[in-house]
Amino acid sequence: MGHEVAAFRYLRKFYDSEYSYQYGGYMATGKEVADHLGITSRYVRELSEKGILPKSRGRNGRDIDECRIRYLNHLRERAKGKKENDDDDETDELREEKILLLRSQRQKLDLAYKKETGELLPAEVITFVINKTAPEAAGILDTIPLKVQRRHPDITPNQMNTLQTEIAKAMNAVTKVGENIDEYMNEYQLNTKPSG
């Protein structure tokens, strides 16, 4: 029971600070809810099946504020001894929650350290650099067909069309990088998070 109280206090302190402002009114996927609450995606599904957390509303996901409130209420009830009738399962579940909360706290500290040491750059800096270099790269790609035609006058029109088509594809990809930076950052975070 002491672990439940400690977990609840940690969650309350953690979410009353920066997360409540960051995620207010946001519809989230099960993975995002799990990351937000510091629990596994599997546990989010279990809590949803038990009716503790709201079920996903199709593609819209779950209201992250509602999930946080219901999860905190669940922890309060468990701390008071009103929930879960199997003590052995509860102990294992609490131990898992405590480990996940500690892991979340450690990851937060690691992230802060990496930002402080310059090992991790803010997305705004990366976006700025990409938006500055992408047009330059596109300009270089744009000159390739003319240079090839000058150096190789025997190139056929079909070969030139193929070259121009492929370069146009590359230029489009380069110019879209800046537009898609948020999507790429989310993908990176999902692929580099340690499994819990």
102 and 165 in a single domain? The answer is no
8 and 29 in a single domain? The answer is yes
48 and 144 in a single domain? The answer is no
73 and 138 in a single domain? The answer is no
pLDDT computed for residue 113 by the predictor: 84
Helix (H) or strand (E) holding 108: helix 87-117
pLDDT computed for residue 17 by the predictor: 47
How far is it, in rounded angstroms, from Cα 112 to Cα 119? Answer: 10
62 and 18 in a single domain? The answer is yes
167 and 186 in a single domain? The answer is yes
* DSSP 8-class letter at 83: S
69 and 132 in a single domain? The answer is no
How much of the chain exceeds pLDDT 70, in percent? 79
188 and 148 in a single domain? The answer is yes
Of 133 and 13, more confident: 133
Of 71, 100, 117, which closes a domain? 117
pLDDT in tens, 170-182: 888 877 776 777 7
88 and 129 in a single domain? The answer is no
Residue 118 pLDDT > 90, yes or no?
no
Helix (H) or strand (E) holding 62: strand 62-63
pTM: 0.34
Of 6 and 150, more confident: 150
pLDDT computed for residue 194 by the predictor: 57
Q: How many domains does the chain have?
A: 2
Residue type, 18: E
13 and 52 in a single domain? The answer is yes
pLDDT computed for residue 18 by the predictor: 47
Of 117, 150, 181, which closes a domain? 117
Residue linked to tokens 């450690």: 106
Of 117, 144, 163, which closes a domain? 117
Structural domain of residue 18, as residue ranges? 2-117
pLDDT in tens, 86-110: 455 567 788 888 888 888 888 888 8
37 and 99 in a single domain? The answer is yes
66 and 154 in a single domain? The answer is no
